[in-house]
């Protein structure tokens, strides 16, 4: 759909309605003819082949003839005619808006600028011709193990050479004209959310766990974690299974003293972390608790949660839409119970079809995704992956239980919740422990808690987990903006009391 077709429709429709009017009819007739000629020229000059131009013109002719026919049928009722014309122009214009892909102010991957989805993953001769015309590299984007359960294997990555970069918007328009291409979007870069420096807030050491740094973890006090740890010991709770928590981030320091006991090594790149971001998140969620070392985490002991790492953020601090979706698929295909993603960026596209497919793939395999709301003091609905349906989005609260000044708000998010996100002490690179602030710190509190709940009940799904967290959560200084503040002990007791925990 093109803006020129909208203009032609408006002029031609106006002529059909008013062609008998002696004062304006002749002028409208000339304008309509000129508009039609312009549309023909436009199609021929903007299509990379005569075949595509003819196809586009045939489609335009069909649309114009159908609208003209409706106007002729209703010629005795000018109000009906005007209504039909207005509705037609509005519909076509909305289609133009939906198909427009303005270049995002955020960067795109220079080696894989576009993602496209084709009908049943087919590569037709028309698509091959277009690729050859612009010397574009084309390769299948994703290879999920359970391909029958998703359409992710219908996506392709396009590598547009430097000499064709100036034509990227034209390439997108021509892709949209191919009937076999169902969707086109930019392969945008997303970033690890900033690790803002924090302060060590000293308090009272916990008594039901033996990790020596709990007095420096104010979040444990706010979350009533002493009662939480007591519940596990007092009721002699044991996991039905050891859940798998995947941290999709900058990697994890596999040799950190408070992580190595619960960490499952994977590919070499996943087992190191030059930035410290992934390691910090991992420690909050599931550092080895009650081991007499370092910090305590959401996991009550070393037998509850296994930590896995998938490096989707490179050493420069960014990943791409493709790398993150690859990470989601890899985690799901390797049996992830929970995925934590403390990363994101501004959403520049109206729809995020590939992301939505990836989240659905996770949901369909009962993998629960927890994400950070973002640190821009805006609505999380404007950020990825926070805005996606099918994920739990976590805002950050400070030690006064007020929304952290930087935290995005989740009042327009379906599954919004809050957790501590300022001055959070956790594991860091080179065996260190450092306090950091950000919604990146809030998200793994929730991910770690849900991972423990999944260890008690392996079949627990996202809706059940969220409902428990929301129902047992408490109000914050601005609950509407933050969502409820999680209460881990009450959540676990609710899971047990409802009789839905697997024994």
Kindly list the catalytic residues: 249, 277, 440
| CA separation for the pair 320, 343 (Å, rounded) | 11
* Residue in 267, 371, 251, 263 with CA at minimum distance from that of residue 315: 251
* Residue in 231, 264, 232, 235 with CA at minimum distance from that of residue 247: 264
Residue 65 backbone dihedrals phi, psi, to 5 degrees:
-70, -40
What are the C-alpha distances in Å from 373 to residues 149, 318, 370, 409, 469? Answer: 28, 17, 10, 7, 17
SS3 of 302-351: the string is CCCEEEEEEECCCCCCEEEHHHHHHHHHHHHHCCCCEEEECEEEECCCCC
| CA separation for the pair 309, 154 (Å, rounded) | 27
Compute the chain's Rg from CA coordinates: 28
Joined tokens for residue 415: 């599954």
Is residue 338 within 8 A of residue 368, CB to CB? The reply is: yes
What is the DSSP code string of 93-116? HHHHHHH--PPPSS-B-TT--EEE
- In this structure, the strands spanning 196-197 and 433-437 are antiparallel
Residues in the chain: 503
Which residues partner with 392 through β-bridges? 370
| CA separation for the pair 135, 131 (Å, rounded) | 6
What is the DSSP code string of 413-444? -TTEEEEE-SSEEEE-GGG-EEEEESHHHHHH
* Residue in 209, 203, 223 with CA at minimum distance from that of residue 258: 209
* Residue in 334, 410, 406, 404 with CA at minimum distance from that of residue 370: 410
Q: Which residue has the tokens 């294997």?
A: 153
Instruction: Kindly give, in sequence order, each residue whose CB lies less than 8 Å from that of residue 485, ignoring residues fewer than 6 positions away.
Output: 222, 397, 401, 418, 419, 473, 474, 475, 476, 479
């Amino acid at each position: 759909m093109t803006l020129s077709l909208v203009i032609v429709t408006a002029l031609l429709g106006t002529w059909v309605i008013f062609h008998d009017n002696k004062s304006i009819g002749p002028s409208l007739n000339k304008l309509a003819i000129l508009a039609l000629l312009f549309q023909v020229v436009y199609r021929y000059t903007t299509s990379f082949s005569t075949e595509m131009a003819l196809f586009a013109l045939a489609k335009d002719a069909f649309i114009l003839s159908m609208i003209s026919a409706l106007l002729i049928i209703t010629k005795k009722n000018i109000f009906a005619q005007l209504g039909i014309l207005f509705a037609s122009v509005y519909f076509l214009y909305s289609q133009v808006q939906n198909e427009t892909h303005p270049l995002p102010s955020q960067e795109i991957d220079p080696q894989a600028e576009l993602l496209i989805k084709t009908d049943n993953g087919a590569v037709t001769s028309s698509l091959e011709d277009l690729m050859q015309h612009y010397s574009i590299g084309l390769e299948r984007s994703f290879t999920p193990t359970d391909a029958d359960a998703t359409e992710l294997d219908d996506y392709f990555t396009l590598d547009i050479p430097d000499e064709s970069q100036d034509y990227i918007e034209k390439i997108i328009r021509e892709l949209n004209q191919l009937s076999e291409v169902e969707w086109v979007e930019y392969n945008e870069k997303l970033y690890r959310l900033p690790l803002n420096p924090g302060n060590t807030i000293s308090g009272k050491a916990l008594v039901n766990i033996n990790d020596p740094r709990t007095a420096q973890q104010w979040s444990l006090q706010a979350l009533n974690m002493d009662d939480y740890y007591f519940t596990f010991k007092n009721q002699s709770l044991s996991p039905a299974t050891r859940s798998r928590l995947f941290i999709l981030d900058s990697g994890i320091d596999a040799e950190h003293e408070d992580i190595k006991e619960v960490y499952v090594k994977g590919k070499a790149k996943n087992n190191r972390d030059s930035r410290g971001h992934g390691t910090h998140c991992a420690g909050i969620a599931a550092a080895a608790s009650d081991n007499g070392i370092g910090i305590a985490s959401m996991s009550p002991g070393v037998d509850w949660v296994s930590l896995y790492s998938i490096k989707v953020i490179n050493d420069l601090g960014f990943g791409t839409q493709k790398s993150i979706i690859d990470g989601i698929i890899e985690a799901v295909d390797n049996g992830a119970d929970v995925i934590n993603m403390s990363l994101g960026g501004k959403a520049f596209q109206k729809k995020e079809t590939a992301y939505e497919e990836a989240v659905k793939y996770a949901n369909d395999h009962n993998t629960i995704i927890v994400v950070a709301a973002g640190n821009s003091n805006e609505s999380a609905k404007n950020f990825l992956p926070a805005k996606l349906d099918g994920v739990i989005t976590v805002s950050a609260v400070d030690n006064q239980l007020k929304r952290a000044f930087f935290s995005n708000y989740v009042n327009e998010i379906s599954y919004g919740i809050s957790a501590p996100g300022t001055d959070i002490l956790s594991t860091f690179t080179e065996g260190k422990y450092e306090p950091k602030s950000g919604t990146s710190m809030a998200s793994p509190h929730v991910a770690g808690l849900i991972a423990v709940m999944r260890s008690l009940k392996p079949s627990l799904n996202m809706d059940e987990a969220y409902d428990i967290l929301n129902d047992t959560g408490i109000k914050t200084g601005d609950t509407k903006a933050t969502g409820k503040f999680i209460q881990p002990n009450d959540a676990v007791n609710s899971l047990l009391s409802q009789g839905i925990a697997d024994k």
